[in-house]
Structure 1
């Protein structure tokens, strides 16, 4: 039986705050940090590459939306700056048997409208995600969950259909909504007017312009130091950089590699970076038949791509070539696999064997969502053209790009990224490479069976063996043509202190005024 117990409340709060990387501070409004009072009254502005597609916690599977919602909502289990699990809205979790988890919930927490948090909110949150009629893109995250039982106001039992060892990892990524708020206003209202228990309250969302949040003075972990936060979508990296330099913004994502050194010498800017949980990849639509369904053709494409040159010349060294969509820090990573070697002669040979006749291959990419995403797509298309593959690039607005993947309407190859913050192989394989995965364009009954067996196996050594085999088969099938691990590079203003996280969370509760 696995048991995780919370320490006394005061100690738990201290640990939670320390895990967030908060600097010590004096009373609200006091001095001790640089900058004038008027400067501190201005909102902290965060620039992401794209806007959220929705503000419904169950309606998305994307980091831009998650970053906004993570400041409005809490999770049952919290992952701290060191990526370790600690109590959140749940103070304790344990297995009663192989398929039953018991969670003890934190008392005294209130939603932003004043309603108390309790077990019925947990039940509503999870049941929405697993309900097939809701069609949540997060459903695979909790698909093993069969039932949520309310034992009392602050105790829930989560029943799984099979043993599910990574349930705590999954719960650390799911934001808890108010059951009463959902019942009263409905999910369409929730998607545009989120209301949680988190450090910031929602003020307004002007789509494609800004999301405005204000500090929650009654937050159970203490009031945030930053009083107002604005998230803005700015696809152009040059514009994001300019707004940091001119004091219009305070945090900007995805700083291009070729700008980093110059910005390090700019006294108005801080550069902060961290190896990311996110792996960017070029996937192949294998479900629609035609030449892309032929693994020989896919292997030809993989051998035509010079990954090392792309990392060096396009990303300026700010990336890491990978064999699969898992990093070495993920449980289940297979160290025996290597990226496809660049071999254009072999690529041409395999193209002939596959019977390629010059069919046009559509290559879908976003622009501004990931560092140098469109530029990587253009460079890859150029390399494929050198071996005779006819590629047409289609640049998509981010929301349309996501819709294209989840609707399975994509017809060729495409760039997408996945930030698996469960730090477990299931968090990548289930959504991306399982037959029914929300973002899967790959199908293999043999791989599906391995993923299902690993998901329901409590023995870590056996789970690891199953994941190694699944990854080997996926790699041999060339389901992904190239994978690279992102290095997250941010620019910040000098008036705040904020540390990036490997899981890409932009957590403003941890931000303080610089001093």
Structure 2
């Protein structure tokens, strides 16, 4: 990407179709997961960018600095305008971020608990203050939730995404929950946009996404199901791109009510569920059994961490210690079908727990239909695919939101004052390696407490037509429609 700006036509042209698996669920509210869809669409951009190599890079801001322990300054590019022609100046940026702070349901990465004030100090400088020292602010503003939109985007009851972004593609038409039509932004600050136009289709069914990229109906498809991998590997017209991602499949256990308020019961289930069998039979070897929340090759996993041993006899012994007769247990397991493998995973868990005499009933549906019960704690157990760097690209954001007593996404209702105490002080540690040691300590405790059952560390599979050029899967699955994306002859 040409960071010197000076956009214009001059690309290779053509129209590209991209199959995305998650449709917008909150009318493009940036505090929600919808922000990630706008980033993948090449519309929404942020002040900083989490690069493909894991390093933080300039995006709408050219530089930033911490001027005192609780104050950060960001210097903006002076050659950027929103797609409707209005300038992206410090007032517009501060307004966008302050709008995010006022959200009724705060964003996990950027909310009033971690951000105190945002103000424009001159035309090209934005100052962000925090309640206490926070070394993660540059990572927080790289989150899609902290994307910058024109003031006009916020004037109605819902976010207006037409012409209010800064990215290489402008949304010109939306078919609700079906597609976005996008045109190249000829005035893009980052240089020439290679494509003329693109369409982002929301295709929930994984097999359909795989079929469409194989037939050429789509040029790029995200989230190819494991069941379709072998077929696509054998197709010379399709390039299959597979990578490990910072994402773990978790069996959430509701710690706030019986039987999972007893750690012995949770630990029993740890030994009763065979994660290796799930990886082998359903994921066809993609991914690996989880050793806790973080993948074993990450700097946040405890040294020598291993998955819990599959041991049905130990599971029975732990239930006996808890005074629980497994035949008295009846559990409803939520499994959303947005992740096509979850139906099969739920069936395997149902069968494995059935060996102990535990009755498991499965309830499926789209994530948006199940989310109210998840957020409200109205469930026994639930499968969840959770990215531990998706909110902030360091585990503090994930741990604070998911595993502190008052965490904003603590679906399992896990609450341990010791964990809260340790995490309260983690962001005061300036040295990144020292913070990593704390994350590993917490990961070890979550695994030993069986706060949830960590099942597998996921891989991601993308399918592309052979004609696609300039596409590289992002490790956090952020960027898809970029200025460099092209269709070859």
Query: Common fold, TM-score beyond 0.5?
Result: yes
**Which of these residues, 422, 427, 430, is aligned with residue 397 of structure 2?**
427
C-alpha RMSD of the superposition: 2.7
Q: Is 1:318 aligned to residue 292 of structure 2?
A: no
In the TM superposition, residue 67 of structure 1 has moved relative to its aligned partner by 4.5
- Is the Cα contact below 8 Å between 1:363 and 1:392 reproduced in 2? yes
Q: Is 1:146 aligned to residue 116 of structure 2?
A: yes
Deviates more, 1:322-331 or 1:355-364: 322-331
3-state DSSP of counterpart to 1:190: coil
3-state DSSP of counterpart to 2:74: strand
| Alignment match, 1:396 | 365
Q: Distance in 1 between matches of 2:35 and 2:2?
A: 31
Deviates more, 1:417-426 or 1:152-161: 417-426
**Which of these residues, 42, 60, 79, is aligned with residue 32 of structure 2?**
60
3-state DSSP of counterpart to 1:91: strand
Q: Distance in 2 between matches of 1:344 and 1:367?
A: 29
Q: Distance in 1 between matches of 2:466 and 2:74?
A: 41
| Alignment match, 1:85 | 56
In the TM superposition, residue 466 of structure 1 has moved relative to its aligned partner by 2.6
| Alignment match, 2:143 | 173
3-state DSSP of counterpart to 1:379: helix
**Which of these residues, 430, 442, 460, is aligned with residue 470 of structure 1?**
442
Alignment of 1:243-262 (within 5 A): 243-262=212-231
Q: Distance in 1 between matches of 2:407 and 2:224?
A: 31
Instruction: Return closer, same or farther for 1:378/1:205 CA change in 2, 3 Å cut-off.
Output: farther
Q: Distance in 2 between matches of 1:418 and 1:405?
A: 17
| Alignment match, 1:21 | none
Deviates more, 1:411-420 or 1:93-102: 411-420
- Is the Cα contact below 8 Å between 2:18 and 2:200 reproduced in 1? yes
In the TM superposition, residue 296 of structure 1 has moved relative to its aligned partner by 0.6
Unaligned runs of 5+ in 1: 1-9, 18-25, 30-39
Alignment of 1:271-420 (within 5 A): 271-287=240-256, 289-328=257-296, 330-357=298-325, 358-369=328-339, 372-420=341-389
Deviates more, 1:350-359 or 1:78-87: 350-359
In the TM superposition, residue 262 of structure 1 has moved relative to its aligned partner by 2.6
Instruction: Return closer, same or farther for 1:329/1:221 CA change in 2, 3 Å cut-off.
Output: farther
Q: Is 1:459 aligned to residue 431 of structure 2?
A: yes
- Is the Cα contact below 8 Å between 1:255 and 1:489 reproduced in 2? yes
- Is the Cα contact below 8 Å between 1:215 and 1:223 reproduced in 2? no
Question: Runs of 4 or more off by more than 6 Å in structure 1?
Answer: none
- Is the Cα contact below 8 Å between 1:12 and 1:87 reproduced in 2? no
| Alignment match, 1:28 | 11
Instruction: Return closer, same or farther for 1:460/1:78 CA change in 2, 3 Å cut-off.
Output: closer
The total of aligned residue pairs comes to 481
- Is the Cα contact below 8 Å between 1:149 and 1:157 reproduced in 2? yes
Q: Distance in 2 between matches of 1:432 and 1:506?
A: 25
Q: Distance in 2 between matches of 1:487 and 1:179?
A: 36
In the TM superposition, residue 350 of structure 1 has moved relative to its aligned partner by 1.3
- Is the Cα contact below 8 Å between 1:405 and 1:439 reproduced in 2? no
**Which of these residues, 464, 467, 473, is aligned with residue 500 of structure 1?**
473
| Alignment match, 2:167 | 198
Deviates more, 1:55-64 or 1:497-506: 55-64
| Alignment match, 2:88 | 117
| Alignment match, 1:264 | 233
Q: Distance in 2 between matches of 1:161 and 1:404?
A: 32
Q: Distance in 2 between matches of 1:402 and 1:139?
A: 19
Could you list the per-position Cα deviations for residues 411-445 of structure 1 after superposition, in whole angstroms to 9, with x for gaps in the alignment?
43332322514441213212222223232122222
Q: Distance in 1 between matches of 2:315 and 2:337?
A: 28
Q: Distance in 1 between matches of 2:453 and 2:32?
A: 26
In the TM superposition, residue 295 of structure 1 has moved relative to its aligned partner by 0.7
Unaligned runs of 5+ in 2: none
In the TM superposition, residue 218 of structure 1 has moved relative to its aligned partner by 0.7
In the TM superposition, residue 177 of structure 1 has moved relative to its aligned partner by 3.0
3-state DSSP of counterpart to 1:361: strand
Q: Distance in 1 between matches of 2:252 and 2:285?
A: 22
Instruction: Return closer, same or farther for 1:399/1:489 CA change in 2, 3 Å cut-off.
Output: same
Instruction: Return closer, same or farther for 1:504/1:461 CA change in 2, 3 Å cut-off.
Output: closer
| Alignment match, 1:4 | none
Could you list the per-position Cα deviations for residues 128-179 of structure 1 after superposition, in whole angstroms to 9, with x for gaps in the alignment?
3333x52224356673211113210111221111111111112111443346
Could you list the per-position Cα deviations for residues 451-495 of structure 1 after superposition, in whole angstroms to 9, with x for gaps in the alignment?
121123223344233323322221121112123221111111122
In the TM superposition, residue 53 of structure 1 has moved relative to its aligned partner by 1.0
Instruction: Return closer, same or farther for 1:96/1:192 CA change in 2, 3 Å cut-off.
Output: closer
Q: Is 1:512 aligned to residue 482 of structure 2?
A: no
In the TM superposition, residue 47 of structure 1 has moved relative to its aligned partner by 1.6
